[in-house]
Structure 1
Amino acid sequence: TTLKKLDWNNSRLIKTNIAEEVKKLKQHPGKDILVYGSGKLVNTLLKHDLVDELRLMVHPVVLGSGRRLFDDNAETMKVLKLEDSKTFPSGIVLLSYHPAK
């Protein structure tokens, strides 16, 4: 990343050893760690079992091509359990998953 400074409160810039740094952050008491719109980061966190909840918003749009949300590596595949779903008037569906035990 080219980001040098963070303007957000309670934020930490992590450039290397992402999984190890997130593991350390999760050991501290406090609020949730949120990731918006970074499939690459979420894949890394899933690979290292660092995701407690995954919320996906499904929009009623069909695209002919695009970037995959998750990689297709069988080694990083995770079984998830649907915990909640909510449908909005627009047709968007919010799905909330937890890793299956």
Structure 2
Amino acid sequence: MDYWPSINVVTKYVYSKTVQNSDWENTVFLQLVEELKNLKIQEVEQSDAKSQDIQVWGSSELIQVLLTNDLVDELWLMIHPLTLGIGKKLFKGGAIPAAFHLESCTVTQSGVILAQYQRKGKVKTGTFRD
């Protein structure tokens, strides 16, 4: 782990139905949605300067579980200017309706949009001008 020495310092949560061990220190394995919900409750209860966000990097399946169970407070999206025609979808059937507010947005020189969205309560219907 010389290329990423700090990975062993932080607690890592792995949501998997098959993998149950890792060479990384401080790794906790979760298998049930209830364990994810408890982790979220712990995050809220410990919301102080020392608490850390729960982040997901590159797991489209875990994102679906979190969206379906109303466990997403914030989205950081990288939108690339290309179409592939096929592939994994971020918002498949099952995600609960939720409103988000654009908190920040940056466009890179290559046209990639980096967008940060914060949860903003319930969905309100209307027109795009509302």
TM range (shorter): 0.7 to 0.9
User: Cα RMSD over matched residues?
Assistant: 2.0
How far does residue 36 in structure 1 lie from its aligned partner after superposition? 1.1
Classify the secondary structure of the residue corresponding to 2:30: coil
TM-score normalized by structure 2? 0.64
Is the partner of 2:61 in helix, strand or coil?
helix
> Residues of 2 paired with 1:71 and 1:45: CA distance?
12
**If the length of structure 1 is used for normalisation, what is the TM-score?**
0.79
2:85 counterpart SS class: coil
2:79 to 54, 58, 68: 58
| Identity of matched residues, % | 40
Q: Which moved more, 1:89-98 or 1:43-52?
A: 43-52
Per-residue CA shift, 1:3-48, capped at 9, x if unaligned?
Answer: 2213334431112x22x21222231433221111122211221222
How many residue pairs get matched? 98
Give, in whole Å, the separation in 2 of the partners of 1:8 and 1:53: 27
Work out which of the two has the higher radius of gyration on C-alpha atoms and give 1 or 2: 2
Structure 1 runs not aligned, ≥5 long = none
Higher relative contact order (CA 8 A, sep 6+): 1
**1:88 is aligned to 2:108:** yes
